Amino acid sequence: MTRVLMVVSAADTLVLADGTEHPTGYWAEEVAASHETLAGAGVEIDIATPGGRKPTVDALSLSEQGGVQPEDAERFRAYLATLADQLAQPLVLADVDPAAYDAVYIPGGHAPMADLVEDSALAAILAATDAAGRPVAALCHGVAGLLAATGEGGWLFGGRRMTGFTDIEEQQGGYGDSIPFSVEQRMRAAGGIVETGQPWSDTVVVDGALITGQNPQSSVSTAKALLERLG
């Protein structure tokens, strides 16, 4: 059976540009819709977090304030309930053997900007997965996790085509100028070839084994792109 490692942030706060802390977590749709799409195709999915800590869902991702319609929020909430045991006791990221998985998938929410962006265990997993030619997929702010794979030789994913949550989307529906850093600009500065669709469009960029989705609206399409790559 095909196995995918879903790496979820365990952060529940994000330090903003002005030094204040803001509640955060993973984005419900990005975990729920991605997991449902992969599992529906028969993929076995393990969830891992830094330190094996229980991740927190961003309350905004289940509310109209976060741009989520009540019926969608209820659907995501119900699916996440089916993952309650896995989310309560995720694998410890540093203990994961990347060779045991056919791919890595990193959903977003702003939380990855707080912990995954500098996680050395994730960096090692990404390097091993990429070196073996196995797919790496990241969605929305989950692309911040890709930035962890930076060393003396530069960024592992430098020179590749990719997308992620855009500056325009951050201004329209994110933290705006309060964001601690722009994922779009960090990817560009690190050498990524960033391609963006219209704000809030379902946009996925595939460059070989690297698969990236722009925003929550791209969750299902990103998972489907991974399925296509896995064959």
pLDDT per residue as tens digits for the range 125-178: 999 999 999 999 999 999 999 999 998 889 999 999 999 999 999 999 989 999
**Each residue's pLDDT tens digit, 65-111:** 999 999 999 999 999 999 999 999 999 999 999 999 999 999 999 99
CB contact at 8 A, 149 and 116: no
φ, ψ at 26 (rounded to 5°): -80, 155
pLDDT value of residue 36: 98
Q: Tell me which amino acid residue 226 is.
A: L
Helix (H, G, I), strand (E, B) or coil at 220: helix
Structure tokens given for 224 = 């489907």
Q: What are the start-end ranges of the H helices in 50-159?
A: 70-82, 84-88, 120-131, 143-146
Tokens standing for 10?
């365990």
Q: Against a cut of 0.85, is the pTM above it?
A: yes
Structure tokens at 31: 């975990």
* Whether 136 contacts 125, CB under 8 Å: no
User: Which amino acid is residue 141, in one-letter code?
Assistant: H
